[in-house]
Amino acid sequence: MGRPQSVPRRTAQAAGEPMLRVEDLSIKFVRRGQEPTIAVDSISFDVQAGQTVGLVGESGCGKSVTALAIMGLLPPRGNRVEGEIHFDGTDLLSLSDKQMRDRRGQELAMVFQDPLSSLNPVVPLGVQVCEVLERHKGMRHGAARRRSAELLDKVGVPDPTRRLDEYPHQLSGGMRQRALIAMALACEPRLLIADEPTTALDVTIQAQILALLKELVTESGTALVMITHDLGVVAGLCDQVNVLYGGRIVERADRFELFARPRHPYTNGLLASIPRLNSPRGQRLKPVPGSVADNIPWQVGCAFSPRCGAASELCRAEAPHLERDEGGAGHEIRCHHPVGRPSESADDARSAQDE
C-alpha cells in the first residue's frame, strides 16, 4: 500500500525493467501450534515481455504456489508471503484484493492444469468466455458473444459459434484447454502463467497446445511463465529455465545452455531419467533416487543432498548459494559439487557414490 503506484505503465518497460520481477519471494504455510512450512524460499526471477520463462521441478517444489502468489490467489488465511512481485512497476503484493481482482483476467491471466475441472460444468462455454469480456471490457452481451466466437476461432476451436452453446463435457480435452486459453487471453493480458497446461492432455494434443501458446506469445508480446515438470515442454518453449528444488532455485540458464551443460546434479538426474527412443532395449530408466520427502531444510544444508550421489559432508552442513557459473552466460547454480560434462553426469554421480 505504501509504495507509490503511479509509475506510468510503459515507461517502466522502456527503462529496461522486466515485465515481471519476482524478488526474494518467500511463502510460508503457517498452522497454529506448528512450525511454519516453507513452500517457497527466496525465489527471484525476471520475465521480459514476449519472453517465456520456465519454472521446472517435481511435485511440491513450490512452482504452483509461486504462480498463485503472483496471481494473488493464495488463500487469505494460513500463509505468509514475503518479498516483492513487481509487475510493470507495481508491487502486486501491496495491492488490495479489489485492485488485484481488477488486474486478474485483464493484465494477468492463468491457465490451469486440468481443463475439465477448470471449466464450470453447468454453464455453457459461451457464458464463461463472455463473462470475462463483460467483466473487464464492459462489453454488451451481443458484442461479447461475437468476440468470444472470434477468440475460440483464433485458438483453433472448430465451429466456434456452435461451441458457445455447448457444455464443457461435450468438448474434447484439447478443445477445453483451447477454450481456457481463449478465456485467459480474452483481454490480451501482458502476463500469462501456464500451470502445467498440458499435463492432462495426450501427447499429440500437448504438442498442438504448446505450439498455440508459443504462437500467441510471440504474436502479442505477452510474457509467459511456464510451470511444468516436463523437460520436453521446457525444451520446446522456454527461453529461460529455472529449476526448483525444495522451494529454492537450484539452477537457472537459458534453454540451450541448460540442455547442453546441466551443472546441478538434480537437473542432471531429471535429464537422465527421460526415456530415450535410441536407448537399448531392456535398459532400465534411471530415476532420481529417493523422493521429495527425503530432504533436509535449506537452513541446515543442501535440500537435495540426501538424494544426491555427489553429496559430501559440506553439503549436509552448509547450504550452497546460487552462484554464477563461470562457464556459461547467465548460467547460475546452487551446488557445492556441480557436475562437469553432461553426458557422464549420471555415471559420475553413481561412481561418486560407490567410492
Residue pair 81/26 in contact (Cβ under 8 Å)? The answer is: yes
In the chain the beta strands, taken as DSSP E runs, fall at 20-29, 37-47, 52-56, 79-87, 90-91, 108-111, 191-195, 223-228, 240-245, 248-254, 323-324, 332-333
Q: Is residue 108 a contact partner of residue 191, using CB atoms and an 8 Å limit? A: yes
- Report the C-alpha gap between 175 and 169 in whole angstroms: 10
Of 95, 171, 210, 217, the one binding other proteins (CB under 8 A) is: 171
Decide if residue 38 touches other proteins (CB under 8 A). no
Q: Is 39 in the site for other proteins (CB under 8 A)?
A: no
Of the listed pieces 6-14, 168-176, 235-243, 289-297, which binds other proteins according to CB under 8 A? Answer: 168-176
Q: Which helix (H) or strand (E) holds 103?
A: helix 97-103
Give the HSE-up count for residue 241: Cα atoms under 13 Å, Cβ half-sphere.
28
What residues from 116 to 155 belong to the interface with other proteins (CB under 8 A)?
A: 117-124, 126-128, 130-132, 135-136, 141, 145
Query: For residues 49 and 187, which CB has a smaller minimum distance to other proteins in the complex?
Result: 187
Place of cell 529496461: 16
Position 105 contacts other proteins (CB under 8 A): yes
Residue 71 found at the interface with other proteins (CB under 8 A): yes
**166 part of the interface to other proteins, by CB under 8 A:** yes
**Binder among 18, 57, 160, 174 for other proteins (CB under 8 A):** 174
Which residues are CB-neighbours of 4 under 8 A, at least 6 positions away? Answer: none
Closest contact distance (angstroms) between CB of 71 and other proteins is 6
Should residue 233 be labelled a site residue for other proteins when binding is judged by CB under 8 A?
no
CB nearer to other proteins: give 71 or 238.
71
d(CA 344, CA 323): 23
Q: Say whether residue 30 binds other proteins (CB under 8 A).
A: no
Task: Give how many residues touch other proteins by CB under 8 A.
Answer: 48
How far apart are the C-alpha atoms of 253 and 329, rounded to whole Å? 8
Q: Which stretch binds other proteins (CB under 8 A): 21-29, 84-92, 164-172, 314-322?
A: 164-172
- Who's near 102: CB < 8 A, 6+ residues apart? 136
Largest interatomic CA distance in the chain: 72
Residue 205 is a binding residue for other proteins (CB under 8 A): yes
Among 36-44, 183-191, 245-253, 298-306, which window interacts with other proteins (CB under 8 A)? 183-191
Contact residues toward other proteins (CB under 8 A) are 71, 73, 101-106, 109-110, 112, 114, 117-124, 126-128, 130-132, 135-136, 141, 145, 158, 162, 164-167, 169-172, 174-175, 180, 183-184, 186, 205, 208
